[in-house]
Structure 1
């Protein structure tokens, strides 16, 4: 049996990789342990979040599937950080996890060039350092490229107190044999850990004593193709832990696998378990707990903020100290999960595995956490696997082009010692990389690659034309009387007429305030706000552009692939080792490696000048 490409794993990375390959015309096989686990939301029923919402928009802008799939299953949507600057505002959506899974499975099944195979991938086929296929269920299947998207399933085990099971998330089967096979092929694996809270019965919760959390009804959804707003939404609820909750956890900390040596994997810093929060932040009197629906009108609720691996009896006690959960009944207890993943320093910026030609990897297998990070990597790994088949140069997004570029560069250049989570703080050009302009930044590239179809391209051109018209409309003069009226509503005074653009530069004026001044066909709040951001922050955006241009000069200085760092005596020993390990493509990438100093960069510049 022969395919052009095999994708191992059908989680959030695997589906994007497989769809990209198939849509680019390559005969692709996607292997999954079970169709039931396709795009399964094992950790939480959400898409998006700070920094993560940007990734979803970027995946969508390039022609990926996550945004559309999320929109088709949304229960609630919110704009996070609404009261902060445009750079850090991010979409977060509650999804119906069953609808999300079913819709993605249906998308895979109707995709041309794509075949789904249930089974366990036990090995990859390598000959003379090149990928030749994979072994699935004991049978050899041949292909020219393979993309590993194994998620948290590699030699995984779930842990709840003293109960340990060799299993994948949510009781699914795990991958038992692939880890050892990959190590034998020269892939450096390590052990990471993540966790999830309990699922509890909705009818055992007292919502009347909790704070109701509604979504935003006036914002766009994730995909640039989705028309209209989400007008019917399901509420979430907020409650808190208390001193009694914390006392129970402290008294049982010796039974916590995280603290008694049972768990060896490294967990995510920015998504700690409740026992970790209590021990690390002992001064805090309470922690937020969100009650979120897993499916529309379903019987189970997700208890966000209470991830744990404590024994079941301790979980019952501590959950029932929380206001509104006094009589809660458990459908599924919280657990931690340990799994194998690759050291991302073993990857190129194209997400190709250095040790095996034609092998790519993406998602949690690369040391990241989160559905969105996985989808972004899956899309790029799929694109670059396709380009490998087509003998084209890989697509590598720069840090000034996309959050996807920041994510991948951080992983393959700096590495990570814990599950990596995307945050807006990681992006040095975050004002330019807003979620509202993801299409502007990436859709032309998606078109060039071949993933943006005619319908999406036409929508993009229409949106662009409207923005150009808005930019012109913003230059119109507004009479003093009208300006005065608008300013007075804000408690401010005006002494002269001005253009719409000049009005928007005042901090108290929003795009919504000036909409009535615009022609009716241009009264689109979201587009007007996007152009208003360009006006308000023009100086800062220009500054970011200049910095990016300076950085680009370093990115354009290519380092030879065969450079012998270990023999360069003018480099410090640490720099020699780090450079030899990462093998950066450019001087810019070398600059970002932890342990490489400005003096070391000077040595490399001298080397390049001498060896022109």
Structure 2
């Protein structure tokens, strides 16, 4: 059946696997996607939404690099919101509620229309290894499929165990069996493994809910899109709603705590700190007698509803009784109860920045196998693993994004350098250069890099270049064009901003905090320029941000350039830390284990102090 040798085999068809297969194939590698269920490619296992705080930036970055997640989100969206609009643009984060069935369908269609992608439905139970190099996979039916590289994106399926109250069942997702064999083989090869936990809330029948007593949560009045290509914004949107738990609900939930696998010791692994279960919230925040619940439709043409904020592994009778005491849920009917799932992961300090393992050549890990949580984090890792698998096979330089270049760079560097003992989720606070890493400029940051390696298309590059040219020209227009006090003072007076007494450049008045692009458009010379040059929303937004935050952006760029000097001081792969007695014991052990590739990476390792870095610089003659 498989007489040819594939360039890349991707194991798993979730968000990481789908992006990995698409990236490798679009770069020209013969790619095989092996998954236990072809019907569930791109399945949204938990929340039917993409984006959110920092996650929206990641989806924009995936799109700018030539990945599919942004396009597929736009095609399947039912509601769009730009979060944090009241804050500065570094905090703006796009989020889209999606049609769960359409999202998976669009992924399947996209991959089937990608040349170089083959598909096979079966469980991969092991890897073919020769002389510390992966050469293929072995399936549960004993089939051996040869390849030059393998990307493992197993999600929550590696020895997955589902918990609902006292009940336990093997599974990687509700209704789907777990994957076995891979963990045991990797551990035998010398890999460290661990267990993590995640959970999901009940799905309920929307026809049984009383929305009239809930708080409506509409989408944006003027919805945007995720992709930088010409996808269409939503003309109509589905409304979400919000309700709240109460002290009564919490008391009813507590009645089942003695049967909770979280509290009776059945679940021993850590769950995501920033997406806790409802029982964890009650336990950790005992002073609060109410928590928000977001009532989110699962699609355009389904009555199924996702109860965001009610993730739980309590017995189903406890879940049902408590949820029926929530306002608007008095007559709720369950489609299925919530559950928790434990699964194997591999501490990501065992990887290189390319996501290739240090122990086995041409073997890559991406997604929840690395200890992350979230579709967006997984998809970005899959994209990078697929890119680097292809590049290494073709003896090209690796594709590594730095911390000042992308949230994806922050994510991977955090994983490789610091590791994680609990499910890792991206936040804007994790990025020290978030003023540079905005959702509006991901194409300007990343499309040229991706185009250079052959992934981003010519169409993407041309659109990016036009946007950059138009926004730079518009900024220059503001720097060169003067205003008169008579023109701008009526606007400033309305904004309760100090008036001007003499002509000056428009850039100066536009830099004021209260003055927006809409105010500037009231000036004839500005509106004429916009119309004559046919400037779209993206260009206007980019121009406004560059003008108003130019000082902050320049300062952050300067800081990044300074730290880049440390990034350029490379540490030889065979550097022997054991001979440097002046290093602290902890630093020596961490450096020997992680093997940082640069002084900059070494400085970010937990347990490596500034004095340890000084010692390293001395030993390296710097």
* TM bracket (short chain): over 0.9
Would you say 1:510 and 2:522 are equivalent positions?
no
Mapping for residues 154-173 of structure 1, pairs under 5 Å: 154-173=158-177
Runs of 4+ more than 6 Å apart:
none
TM-score by length of 1: 0.98
- What is residue 580 of structure 1 aligned with on the other side? 592
- What is residue 593 of structure 1 aligned with on the other side? 605
**Contact 1:263/1:338 (8 A) holds in 2:** yes
Following the alignment from structure 1 to structure 2, what is the Cα–Cα distance between the partners of residues 228 and 14?
Answer: 26
- What is residue 188 of structure 1 aligned with on the other side? 192
**Contact 1:219/1:526 (8 A) holds in 2:** no
Corresponding residue to 2:549 among 533, 537, 540: 537
Between stretches 567-576 and 345-354, larger displacement belongs to 567-576
**Contact 2:203/2:306 (8 A) holds in 1:** yes
Would you say 1:393 and 2:397 are equivalent positions?
yes
CA deviation after TM superposition for structure 1 residue 428, in Å: 0.1
Between stretches 510-519 and 381-390, larger displacement belongs to 510-519
Following the alignment from structure 2 to structure 1, what is the Cα–Cα distance between the partners of residues 390 and 91?
Answer: 33
**Contact 2:400/2:409 (8 A) holds in 1:** yes
CA deviation after TM superposition for structure 1 residue 146, in Å: 0.5
Corresponding residue to 1:487 among 474, 487, 492: 492
**Contact 1:511/1:525 (8 A) holds in 2:** no
Q: CA RMSD in A?
A: 1.3
Would you say 1:198 and 2:202 are equivalent positions?
yes
- What is residue 562 of structure 1 aligned with on the other side? 574
**Contact 2:467/2:538 (8 A) holds in 1:** no
* Alpha-carbon displacement from aligned partner over 1:386-417 (angstroms, at most 9, x marks no partner): 11101112111110111000000000000001
- What is residue 114 of structure 2 aligned with on the other side? 111
CA deviation after TM superposition for structure 1 residue 498, in Å: 4.0
Following the alignment from structure 2 to structure 1, what is the Cα–Cα distance between the partners of residues 500 and 264?
Answer: 70
Following the alignment from structure 2 to structure 1, what is the Cα–Cα distance between the partners of residues 153 and 201?
Answer: 24
**Contact 1:470/1:522 (8 A) holds in 2:** no
Corresponding residue to 1:477 among 466, 474, 482: 482
CA deviation after TM superposition for structure 1 residue 537, in Å: 1.6
- What is residue 22 of structure 1 aligned with on the other side? 25
Mapping for residues 172-321 of structure 1, pairs under 5 Å: 172-321=176-325
**Contact 2:582/2:615 (8 A) holds in 1:** yes
1:219–1:504 distance in 2 versus 1, CA, 3 Å: farther
Following the alignment from structure 2 to structure 1, what is the Cα–Cα distance between the partners of residues 589 and 376?
Answer: 32
CA deviation after TM superposition for structure 1 residue 566, in Å: 2.5
Would you say 1:46 and 2:57 are equivalent positions?
no
CA deviation after TM superposition for structure 1 residue 36, in Å: 1.8
Mapping for residues 514-533 of structure 1, pairs under 5 Å: 514-516=520-522, 517-518=526-527, 519=529, 520=531, 521-533=533-545
Three-state SS of the structure 2 residue aligned to 1:509 is coil
CA deviation after TM superposition for structure 1 residue 486, in Å: 2.0
CA deviation after TM superposition for structure 1 residue 493, in Å: 5.0
Would you say 1:499 and 2:477 are equivalent positions?
no
Following the alignment from structure 1 to structure 2, what is the Cα–Cα distance between the partners of residues 272 and 123?
Answer: 33
Mapping for residues 375-524 of structure 1, pairs under 5 Å: 375-475=379-479, 476-492=481-497, 494-496=499-501, 497-516=503-522, 517-518=526-527, 519=529, 520=531, 521-524=533-536
1:509–1:607 distance in 2 versus 1, CA, 3 Å: same
Following the alignment from structure 1 to structure 2, what is the Cα–Cα distance between the partners of residues 548 and 491?
Answer: 37
TM-score by length of 2: 0.96
CA deviation after TM superposition for structure 1 residue 540, in Å: 1.4
**Contact 2:240/2:295 (8 A) holds in 1:** yes
- What is residue 94 of structure 1 aligned with on the other side? 97
**Contact 2:470/2:535 (8 A) holds in 1:** no
Three-state SS of the structure 2 residue aligned to 1:171 is coil
Between stretches 188-197 and 162-171, larger displacement belongs to 162-171
* Alpha-carbon displacement from aligned partner over 1:122-159 (angstroms, at most 9, x marks no partner): 10111111111111231111111111111111110111
**Contact 1:510/1:529 (8 A) holds in 2:** no
CA deviation after TM superposition for structure 1 residue 458, in Å: 1.8
Three-state SS of the structure 1 residue aligned to 2:144 is strand
CA deviation after TM superposition for structure 1 residue 228, in Å: 4.8
CA deviation after TM superposition for structure 1 residue 495, in Å: 3.0
CA deviation after TM superposition for structure 1 residue 523, in Å: 4.8
Three-state SS of the structure 1 residue aligned to 2:521 is helix
* Alpha-carbon displacement from aligned partner over 1:355-381 (angstroms, at most 9, x marks no partner): 101101101111100000001111111
CA deviation after TM superposition for structure 1 residue 219, in Å: 4.1
Three-state SS of the structure 2 residue aligned to 1:87 is coil
**Contact 2:74/2:231 (8 A) holds in 1:** no
**Contact 2:160/2:342 (8 A) holds in 1:** yes
Three-state SS of the structure 2 residue aligned to 1:169 is coil
Following the alignment from structure 1 to structure 2, what is the Cα–Cα distance between the partners of residues 171 and 409?
Answer: 35
Following the alignment from structure 2 to structure 1, what is the Cα–Cα distance between the partners of residues 574 and 98?
Answer: 48
